[in-house]
Structure formats: C-alpha cells, structure tokens
C-alpha cells in the first residue's frame, strides 16, 4: 500500500478512537512530558502492520523515535519486544490502542495464514485467500495474507472470470458450457475459472478448457479422483485445480496431498483470533 493510503487509513482510525480529544491523557499528562514505551507480543506471531503502527505515532508526535525490532513477515517469539518508542508521553498513550489494534488484527491474519502454509509445506501447493474479507478492508487484509506466505486470489469481480454455480444455472439456459467459455475467451483477456460441485460435472468442464477449475466442497478422495481425471484428460496443459470449502488446519495437509495446485481458505480473513500484544510505559 502506498504511504498516502496508510496515512489516510490511520488518520481515520485515530479520529474514530480519539473523538473530540483524549480527555484522560490531556488532563493527567503534561504536554511536554516524555517517556519510553515498548510494544510486546504475548504470543508467537508472524508480524504484520508495522507501517500502520509507525504512522500512528508519527501523526501524534512527528518527532517520536520509533525503533522497529522486527519487520512485517518476521516470525517473532512470545514475549519479544517489537517496537521501542521514545517521545511525548501523550502521543504514546493516545496512540496505544489504535497501534495495537492494527498490529494484533493484521498479525492475526498473517499468523493464521502462516499456520496453513507451514502445514502444506511438503507439497507444491499454494494457500490462497478469498473475497470473504471485512468490508472496505480488503487491501490491508490481503497484504497480511501475503506477509503470512499466502497468495492472493482475485482482488475483485473485475480481476478474473469465475463461473460459479449460480452463473452456470443461468448460462445453461442458453448455451453449452464450452460455448460459453469460448465466447468469454473472445470477449475478455482475463483468465477463466469454473466451479465444479460434483465429480460428474468435471468432464464437461475440462472440455471447455478453462484455465482453472474450482473444486468446491469435495472430500480428499474426490479431489484425488479429480486430479487424476484432469491429468488424463488434458495431458499437455492441464488447468490449475483449486480446492475450496471447509478447509481447516486439521484437514489442509490431507487436501494438499491430493495433488491440487491451490487451496483457498475463507477463514484466513473471515475469522480471526486477535494476537495479544501490549504496550508498557517505561516512565
């Protein structure tokens, strides 16, 4: 993300959290009082959000020293100090919550993504995110996924053709699937992916020559069969196979073992358990 975008997002977050002024800090701490502060993580974490934390404190005290001990994407152990601050106490106390919110929210996504990418490490498979992101926060959530080693799926509906179940219900009314795909290839330069919900649909789909096939909610056994069928049917340039639906940390390795090329995991972004972090003031 461009620095101006980060600044705009952080300003909005600060405005939301400060409202008409941080009355506690203003009334209790002198405007020239200075302190040292340290931000620590209380859990193992794949770090994400440092630029946001930096911006928070720079906006509140342009002279704040911000010493980053790690960078986005680093694996950090529980108890480690992430950032040392040196500057106006008011800025440290007023910015604390917003900075921690960015760090613990984004690191939660990066860390969760990392668990998935670690789990499938032995296999040449990619872990992808989905469009199940918090409304209006997709760019930063997608960035966190990348920090965790994941790969971004299409960013929006303009990025790629994905013929889902519902689209196929409609298009089936007028033409064969291979007709539809041929027509699409002429009208757009985007890649085409087709969703398949049942193994018996796969053959027809493969004949339409999409660049990718989305295998939705299939068991490892079905996925395995789909891989075999695909290799047999398109030996030269087989479409990429993406497994999707109900993927968990428990079953992801088994799914990776089926030979699919990509696994997309909604819970990378739609669910989260914020990382526990804290700011300690050194007086």
Least CB distance to a second copy at residue 97 (A): 5
CA torsion sign for 56, 62, 65, 70 is positive
Question: Looking at beta carbons only, is 27 or 77 nearer to a second copy?
Answer: 27
Secondary structure (3-state) at 81: strand
- Per the CB < 8 A criterion, the answer to whether 238 and 231 are in contact is yes
Least CB distance to a second copy at residue 166 (A): 4
CA 144/CA 107 separation, integer angstroms: 7
Tokens of 198: 């049942």
CA 8/CA 14 separation, integer angstroms: 10
Least CB distance to a second copy at residue 58 (A): 11
Residue 103: closest CA among 15, 39, 60: 39
CA 258/CA 63 separation, integer angstroms: 54
Question: Looking at beta carbons only, is 167 or 253 nearer to a second copy?
Answer: 167
- Annotated catalytic residue 216: yes
Least CB distance to a second copy at residue 7 (A): 8
The catalytic position among 7, 34, 36, 132 is 132
CA 69/CA 51 separation, integer angstroms: 13
- Annotated catalytic residue 225: no
Question: Looking at beta carbons only, is 221 or 280 nearer to a second copy?
Answer: 280
Residue 196: closest CA among 218, 228, 219: 218
Question: Looking at beta carbons only, is 6 or 80 nearer to a second copy?
Answer: 6
- Annotated catalytic residue 164: yes
CA 220/CA 242 separation, integer angstroms: 12
The catalytic position among 97, 224, 225, 254 is 97
- Annotated catalytic residue 90: no
Question: Looking at beta carbons only, is 1 or 199 nearer to a second copy?
Answer: 1
Least CB distance to a second copy at residue 83 (A): 15
The catalytic position among 96, 129, 195, 242 is 195
Least CB distance to a second copy at residue 252 (A): 17
- Annotated catalytic residue 132: yes
The catalytic position among 164, 231, 232, 273 is 164
Angle at 42 between CA 14 and CA 70, to 5 degrees: 70
Question: Looking at beta carbons only, is 22 or 83 nearer to a second copy?
Answer: 22
Listing DSSP states for 159-178 in one string gives S-EEE-HHHHHHHHTTS-HH
Could you give the residue numbers annotated as active site? 97, 132, 164, 195, 216
């Amino acid at each position: 993300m461009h620095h101006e975008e980060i600044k705009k997002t952080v300003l909005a977050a600060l405005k939301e959290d400060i409202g008409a002024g941080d009355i506690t800090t203003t009334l209790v701490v002198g405007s020239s009082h200075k302190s040292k502060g340290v931000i620590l993580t209380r859990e193992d974490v794949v770090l994400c959000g440092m630029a946001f934390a930096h911006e928070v404190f720079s906006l509140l005290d342009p002279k704040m020293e911000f010493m980053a001990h790690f960078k986005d994407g680093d694996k950090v152990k529980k108890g480690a100090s992430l950032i040392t601050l040196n500057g106006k106490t008011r800025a440290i106390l007023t910015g604390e919550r917003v900075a921690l919110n960015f760090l613990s929210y984004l690191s939660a996504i990066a860390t969760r993504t990392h668990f998935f990418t670690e789990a499938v490490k032995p296999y040449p498979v990619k872990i992808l995110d989905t469009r199940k992101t918090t409304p209006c926060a997709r760019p930063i959530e997608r960035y966190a996924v990348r920090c965790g080693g994941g790969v971004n799926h299409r960013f929006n509906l303009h990025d790629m053709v994905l013929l889902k179940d519902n689209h196929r219900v409609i298009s089936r009314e007028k033409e064969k699937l291979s007709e539809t795909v041929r027509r699409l290839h002429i009208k757009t330069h985007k890649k085409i992916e087709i969703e398949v919900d049942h193994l018996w649909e796969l053959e027809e789909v493969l004949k339409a020559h999409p660049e990718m096939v989305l295998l939705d909610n299939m068991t490892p056994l079905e996925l395995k069969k789909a891989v075999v069928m695909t290799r047999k049917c398109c030996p030269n340039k087989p479409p990429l196979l993406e497994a999707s639906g109900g993927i968990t940390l428990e079953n992801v390795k088994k799914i990776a073992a089926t030979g699919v090329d990509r696994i997309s995991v909604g819970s990378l972004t739609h669910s989260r358990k914020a990382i526990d972090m804290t700011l300690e003031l050194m007086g």
